[in-house]
Chains A and B, each alone.
Chain A
């Protein structure tokens, strides 16, 4: 199967190891992966901060770039939620009928990583080995935005050697919220403090998620507090094998 990877702007810049893991994982599963060299951003940051005109630019760019692509894989639930929840309104407001039709045709071909694995490839056991105690944080966009449901748990249950510990108050936001984390830095920090209590109580070695933005938030606080836990994107766990363990040193 051929598929194209939309890595997202912040994974490209801040978390290239997640991208490398997605490549390794999908190629191992026989996917012929492609990467559009001109890709940048889906427009989520602008749309969520109220810069709708700017978000239009990114949305148009995305649709034009991928209109002929069969399958687009995005390892970020919030970017997928942006495309599914906000693009329809943006294109309606834009009033460009051709673009809107292109978008409607494109939409069913956009997959979040765990959706692609479980729905399109129909695999749960991806042959991963990760001998660690791990807790899963359900990002708000993954949980309520694009309704990932039990997909991540089905994938995790098949990872050899991994002990999965459930997280209390799974549906509670970590307080990141994009620019919310700086515009309302103190409230965001208070939310983070409460979330961290639950995360740390799992006594896991790693906190994983399908969205590096939440993990940047949680991981940033863990690092600041010398907490004995690290964050890791689920793609990196799923890519990990005995022969090639995940890059967890950074």
Chain B
């Protein structure tokens, strides 16, 4: 980000690998403090509101079951959604990939003669890199979610999927607003900052007649779209313009209207630690004299159907983008979102991004986890993220082990050798023996290893390693058994 002297890349095809991308953040105390503070606050609120629900585990199970059922019958529910939405006066478009979705949206905007468009709650638009495309095509896009405004005006990148500007604190917001709005005497009082944003926004709401939104849920039964938010800016964006375009991933569909009962409960409690989010908008097509006159839905595949076909990975698509996994993640807590090189950071990003890229990019992401399992424990739709991480890791290894350069990679050499050693006890014991001799030259007089070469150096950069003990456990056991036998015999 700008104030840190670097700019993160959120394009998986171009972003550096996770360990490298994490470095600038690890070296930035302000950023680490902002991230840790923000997620600790959300985590504590979530924990409180989850504990007060005696049926939380049942709600999670219901959430998972609803999403699974929708995914298992996705084609049918999408067609039902299209039919009902069309009957209610909406227009449904299907986009196989990002390029097609961008073009569909641009074509609609061209027909509207739009030179400006306001946007709300659409991470999917960042996934397809819509803003730069529209800009290049002569349409200026204005974000209207408070956090997104901060990012847009500050030329920052989102680092969280629910609180995208979580890495920016209020004195930094003050700087961004003062600079971009030309207000020199702005204070960092939240009230003052919100008022500044409101002034900026009202003007856009009243003058820009076209809008783009995302969707939290698509309801097949009624052809409805639902967007949940905290500020009411979304409500403005969804009701004031003449033409509305909703961009939604195909996995967003749920079967029945009553399914919202479960989904809205688990979403609000998991995402922001609220019993109910402040603004829940649900609309079906168009209503004459009330809200937009023209309504389009763009259903985006962009790699999703390929995930659907896979047994272990399919659960990734249950995700309702609550961000509980990243709030609970000890890795995210240190690195923030930018290190993930994608608009989808954290544990869900670590499994979703490489899959959306069909495993052609972001291969470092499945390894960006200590497999501690905190993400799985908090996920409101029970996505077993560690299980999917392991599945993707094995896919990465299967790709890489065919490459010549990886043949001599220390990690690959070591793990192949370990496999041979583990296949027989005598080989394993020989490796232990020679390993101890080999490590002797690195072992200090205090019996500890302070510096190792190659991969081992990644360990000893911050940690010592105790030198290998003279006697392994199994040889101690054998000695003891021999002694016992001798005693018995003698």
Which residue numbers of A lie inside 8 Å of B, CB to CB? 7, 9, 11-20, 23, 35, 37-41, 43, 45-52, 54, 57-58, 61, 85-86, 89, 140-141, 144-145, 171-173, 175-194, 216-217, 219-221, 223-224, 250
CB distance from A170 to the nearest CB of B (A): 12
Assess whether B468 is interfacial by the CB under 8 Å rule.
yes
Q: Within 8 Å CB of A192, what residues of B?
A: 462-463
Docked complex: B465-490 residues within 8 A CB-CB of A = 465-466, 468-469, 471-474, 476-478
Q: For the complex, what is the distance from the CA of A90 to the CA of B269, rounded to whole Å?
A: 35
> Which one of A17, A40, A48, A179 has the greatest number of beta carbons of chain B within 10 Å?
A40
On whether the beta carbons of B390 and A48 are closer than 8 Å, the reply is yes
Residues of chain A within 8 A of B32, CB atoms compared: 190
Assess whether B200 is interfacial by the CB under 8 Å rule: no
Stretch at the interface among B146-154, B252-260, B422-430: B422-430
- Nearest first, the 8 A-B pairs at minimum CB distance are A177-B370, A50-B393, A220-B463, A185-B458, A19-B473, A173-B372, A50-B397, A140-B372
**Measured CA separation A188–B456 after assembly (Å):** 14
- B23: chain A residues at CB < 8 Å are 186
A187's contact among B22, B392, B397, B416, by CB below 8 Å, is which? Answer: B22
Residue among B26, B32, B334 with max Cβ neighbours from chain A (10 Å): B334
Which single residue of chain B is at the shortest CB-CB distance from A12?
B473
Asked if B367 is an interface residue, CB under 8 A from chain A, the answer is yes
A85, chain B: closest CB distance, angstroms: 8
Q: Within 8 Å CB of B136, what residues of A?
A: none
Task: Tell me the dominant secondary structure on chain B's binding face.
Answer: helix
Contact partners of B335 in chain A: CB under 8 A: 187, 190
* Residue in chain B with minimal CB distance to A183: B367
Expressed in whole angstroms, the minimum distance between the Cβ of A19 and any Cβ of chain B is 4
Contacts of B463 in A (CB 8 A): 189, 192, 217, 220-221, 223-224
Residues of B within 8 A of A175 (CB): 330, 370
Determine, out of B79-87, B176-184, B447-455, the stretch whose residues face the partner at the interface. Answer: B447-455
Known A-B contacts A12-B432, A38-B425, A176-B370; A183 and B334 likewise in contact (beta carbons under 8 Å): no
CB pair B368–A181 under 8 Å, yes or no, is: no
Would you call B189 an interface residue if the criterion is a C-beta within 8 Å of the partner chain's C-beta atoms? no
Query: Is A9 touching B458 in the complex (CB atoms < 8 A)?
Result: no
Chain B residues near A14 (CB, 8 Å)? 466, 468-469
- Which residue of B is nearest A184, CB measured? B19
Q: List 12 A-B contacts (CB under 8 A).
A: A7-B473, A12-B472, A40-B425, A46-B415, A50-B396, A144-B373, A173-B330, A184-B367, A191-B370, A194-B333, A219-B466, A224-B464
**Chain B: which residue is nearest A48 at the CB level?**
B371
Least CB separation from A173: chain B residue: B372
| Distance A35 CA – B392 CA, assembled complex (angstroms) | 36
Q: Decide: A49 near B415, CB < 8 A? Known: A38-B425, A191-B370.
A: yes
Minimal beta-carbon separation of A67 from chain B (angstroms): 17
Q: Does B435 contact A (CB under 8 A)?
A: yes
Q: With CB as the reference atom, state the residue of chain B lying closest to A223.
A: B464
Q: Assuming A144-B372, A183-B367, A220-B465, is B397 touching A35 (CB within 8 A)?
A: no
- Interface contact B415-A182, CB-CB below 8 Å: no
Q: Does B421 contact A (CB under 8 A)?
A: yes
CB contact between A37 and one of B330, B369, B474 (< 8 Å): that residue: B474
The residue of chain B having its C-beta at the shortest distance from the C-beta of A50 within the complex is: B393
B residues less than 8 Å from A189 (CB atoms): 461-463
Distance between Cα atoms of A7 and B471 in the complex (Å) = 14
Q: In the complex, what's the smallest C-beta–C-beta distance from A92 to chain B, in angstroms?
A: 10
Q: How far is the CB of A80 from chain B (nearest CB, A)?
A: 14
The reply to whether B459 and A177 contact each other, CB–CB distance below 8 Å, is: no
Q: Interface extent on B, as a size class? A: 35 or more
How many CB-defined contacts (below 8 Å) exist between A and B?
201
The reply to whether B464 and A191 contact each other, CB–CB distance below 8 Å, is: no
Q: Cβ of A57 and Cβ of B419 under 8 Å apart?
A: yes
Which residues of the other chain, A, contact B135 by a CB distance below 8 angstroms?
Answer: none
Check A221–B462 contact: CB distance below 8 A.
yes
Q: Are A57 and B459 in touch, CB under 8 angstroms? A: no
Which B353-378 residues sit within 8 Å CB-CB of chain A?
366-374, 376-377
Q: Quick check: is B295 within 8 A (CB to CB) of the other chain?
A: no
B 335-355 binary contact with A (CB < 8 Å = 1; else 0)? 100000000000000000000
A237 to B238, CA, bound (A): 63
A9, A144, A179, A187: the one within 8 Å of B422 (CB): A9
Q: Say which residue of A20, A141, A180 sits within 8 Å of B476 (CB atoms).
A: A20
A184 touches B368 (CB 8 A): yes
Contact A57 B367 (CB under 8 A): no
Residue numbers in B under 8 Å from A89 (CB-CB): 312, 387
Cα separation A16 to B480 with both chains bound (whole Å) = 13
Given known pairs A50-B393, A51-B415, the reply for A23 and B370 (CB within 8 Å) is: no
A180 lies within 8 A of B367 (CB): yes
Q: Which of B369, B370, B416 has the largest count of A CB atoms less than 10 A from its CB? A: B370
A50→B394 contact, CB < 8 A: yes
Is B397 touching A52 in the complex (CB atoms < 8 A)?
yes
Report whether A140 and B373 are in contact in the complex, using a CB–CB cutoff of 8 Å.
yes
Closest Cβ of chain A to B129, distance in Å, is: 27
Instruction: Indicate whether B192 reaches chain A with its CB closer than 8 angstroms.
Output: no
Residues of B within 8 A of A54 (CB): 415-416, 418-419
Which residue of A is nearest B392, CB measured?
A50
Asked if B197 CB lies within 8 Å of chain A CBs, one says no
**Chain A residues positioned under 8 Å from B447 (CB to CB):** 250
A181 to chain B: which residues have CB within 8 Å?
458-459
- Which of chain B's residues have a CB closer than 8 A to the CB of A43? 422
When chains A and B are docked, how far (Å) is the Cα of A40 from the Cα of B418? Answer: 10
Q: Which A residues are CB-close (under 8 A) to B465?
A: 216, 220
A51 near B367 with CB under 8 A, answer no
Q: Report if A16-B471 is in contact (Cβ < 8 Å); known contacts: A140-B373, A223-B464.
A: yes
- The answer to whether B367 and A19 touch across the interface, beta carbons within 8 angstroms, is no
The CB with the most chain B CB atoms within 10 A, among A18, A86, A183, A250, is that of A183
Note all chain A residues with C-beta closer than 8 A to B19.
183-187
Residues of B within 8 A of A35 (CB): 474, 477
Contact mask B123-166 → A, CB, 8 Å, 1/0?
Answer: 00000000000000000000000000000000000000000000
Question: Taking the complex as formed, is B195 at the interface, i.e. its CB lies under 8 A from any CB of chain A?
Answer: no
Whether A86 and B390, one on each chain, are in contact in the complex, defined by CB atoms closer than 8 angstroms, is yes
